[in-house]
Amino acid sequence: MELVPGNTLITATPDEGRALAVKLARLTVKATQPDAEVRQRLRLAYAEDHHSLIAIAQVVATEYATIAAANNHWR
């Protein structure tokens, strides 16, 4: 499984960086729980849990901060 698509964090725009951050977060979940059936079953539980939704937003924000730093998006 390729955990960093294209083996780079470099993106053309901040919006592409944000999309990459979401993808990286999803790939992390997939790597942690490789069974698609289990992931689908668990999705029903966390989709209704505001703590879980906030936690994934924090993961995406961390991924995006890393990507933004790699791309100098904050210049």
45: containing domain: 36-75
Q: Answer whether 68's CB lies under 8 Å from 14's CB.
A: yes
Decide if 43 is inside a domain. yes
pLDDT at 22: 97
- The candidate with the shortest Cα–Cα distance to 5, out of 28, 37, 32, is 28
pLDDT in tens, 38-54: 999 999 889 999 999 99
Decide if 28 is inside a domain. no
Say how far apart CA 65 and CA 70 lie, in whole Å. Answer: 9
pLDDT at 1: 80
Decide if 53 is inside a domain. yes
Q: pTM score, two decimals?
A: 0.86
Decide if 5 is inside a domain. no
Decide if 64 is inside a domain. yes
Decide if 40 is inside a domain. yes
The more confident residue out of 3 and 20 is: 20
Mean pLDDT of 3-26: 94
Decide if 71 is inside a domain. yes
Name the domain count of the chain.
1
pLDDT at 2: 86
Q: Answer whether 17's CB lies under 8 Å from 38's CB.
A: no
